[in-house]
Amino acid sequence: MGEGINDYTKNIVDLRRHMWMAGVEVELRRLIWQIAVVGKYISAKIHEANRKLAGSKNIYGEDQLSLDRATDEIMKNQLQYSGFVREYASEELREITKIGSGKEKYIVTADPLDGSSLVDTNLAIGTIIGIHKESILDTGRNTMVAALYITYGPLITMMYSAGNGAHEFVLNREGEYVMAQDNIKMKEKGSIFSPGGLRRDWVPGHQKFIEHLEKEGYKLRYSGGFVPDINQLLIKRGGIFTYPALQKSQRGKLRLLFELQPMAFIVEQAGGMATNGKEDILSLKVENINDCSPVYIGSRAEVELAKQFLT
Ligand code: F6P
């Protein structure tokens, strides 16, 4: 007898089944699923933009929205009609926007297309999402209940955590997110490093830290896209990504709310750590939605070691 459809599907854990089995609260799992679906629309938009590289033009000649703005519109519109989101903050809008009736449970932060300047190079780029229950500003503690990111590379993958570990899914040809790796755990120490910023702008403590990693034989792995660079640390189970304080900008480059705190949430759930060189990224108070911070994120040994060089 051939394999029936039931035999085939019973072995597949898709995103919805995973969240249900993991006991993620019903509204939160619907919201995460909805955002994963938005990833498919964003991917379609990226393809559309890239068709220009293949010589096709916009036949109507109208002004097209930039890819950042277009993907932000897609995310905002989809969340608006999800019924679960009362406020939306994205680095494109630059202010927190009410998109619900006020009764919905969640506030979503989004970097809808991080690393969009890499689109024409065909390197991987991504979407980063934080899901909060309470106010995202001024609370002095972190209110995040879940975070996820989606990578648009040779495959579309998504990593989520609802405080229950970090789990990776791959979009298959049938359009389902199927589980690739459950409960990813980083090693105590890794062997790759991704150092952001120009060497000539680094502060002395940071410079010494990077020289130490180089001497220890760490391999350089920096793509210029935060999502694939963090994904690499998780999939390879360790190493460190840094974007430090620079001589002229003590707060570094990456944004706390949209980039750093969601990634810190996921990496901590995988047993790693994220600090600004001293304090945990998740303990930092966000005063303005575009606040930036230096970051040291990855496996525990390297992040702890950075602290010593930076005191
Ligand atoms: O914040 C946008 C971003 O493109 C990140 O994805 C990436 O990690 C960083 O900036 C790269 O910065 P730089 O071009 O200075 O290396």
**Helix %, strand %, coil % of the chain (to 5):** 35, 25, 40
Ligand 1 contact, 196 CB (< 6 A): yes
Residue in the structure block whose two tokens are 């230096």: 294
Three-state DSSP state, 98: strand
Q: Residue 160: beta bridge partners?
A: 148, 167
Alpha helices in 81-223 (DSSP H): 204-215
pTM listed for this prediction: 0.94
Instruction: State residue 117's pLDDT score.
Output: 87
The answer, yes or no, to whether residue 43 has pLDDT greater than 70, is: yes
Class of domain 2-181: alpha beta
Protein residue with least CA distance to atom 2, ligand 1: 115
Confidence of residue 7 (pLDDT cuts 50, 70, 90): low
Ligand 1 contact, 163 CB (< 6 A): no
Q: Which of 43-52, 103-112, 272-281, 295-304 has the lowest mean pLDDT?
A: 43-52
Are 195 and 203 in contact, with CB atoms under 8 Å apart? no
- Which ligand 1 atom is the nearest neighbour of the CA of 118? 4
DSSP assignment, residue 245? Answer: -
- Which ligand 1 atom is the nearest neighbour of the CA of 196? 16
Instruction: State residue 59's pLDDT score.
Output: 38
Residue in the structure block whose two tokens are 């249900």: 20
Distances in whole angstroms, Cα of residue 237 to Cα of each of 13, 167, 170: 22, 13, 18
Specify the DSSP element, H or E, that contains 177.
strand 177-181
- Which ligand 1 atom is the nearest neighbour of the CA of 253? 1
Query: What is the spatial distance between Cα 299 and Cα 191, in angstroms, rounded to a whole number?
Result: 10
Structural fold of domain 192-310: D-Maltodextrin-Binding Protein; domain 2 (3.40.190)
Query: What is the spatial distance between Cα 93 and Cα 111, in angstroms, rounded to a whole number?
Result: 10
Query: What is the spatial distance between Cα 115 and Cα 253, in angstroms, rounded to a whole number?
Result: 13
The answer, yes or no, to whether residue 251 has pLDDT greater than 70, is: yes
Protein residue with least CA distance to atom 4, ligand 1: 115
> Which among 267, 291, 270, 295 is positioned nearest to 281, based on CA atoms?
295
Q: Between the CA atoms of 132, 135, 136 and 137, what dihedral angle is there, to the nearest 10 degrees?
A: -170
Instruction: State residue 63's pLDDT score.
Output: 43
Q: Enumerate the CATH 3.40.190.80 domain ranges in the chain, comma separated.
A: 192-310
Q: Give the chain's radius of gyration (CA, Å).
A: 20
Which pLDDT tens digit goes with each residue over 66-81? 889 999 999 999 999 9
Ligand 1 contact, 252 CB (< 6 A): no
Which pLDDT tens digit goes with each residue over 9-37? 677 899 999 999 999 999 999 999 999 99
Query: What is the spatial distance between Cα 200 and Cα 292, in angstroms, rounded to a whole number?
Result: 20
Ligand 1 contact, 254 CB (< 6 A): yes
The answer, yes or no, to whether residue 96 has pLDDT greater than 90, is: yes
Query: What is the spatial distance between Cα 183 and Cα 185, in angstroms, rounded to a whole number?
Result: 6
- Which ligand 1 atom is the nearest neighbour of the CA of 125? 6
Query: What is the spatial distance between Cα 172 and Cα 178, in angstroms, rounded to a whole number?
Result: 7
Query: What is the spatial distance between Cα 283 and Cα 268, in angstroms, rounded to a whole number?
Result: 12
Which pLDDT tens digit goes with each residue over 180-239? 999 999 999 999 999 999 999 999 999 999 999 999 999 999 999 999 999 999 999 999
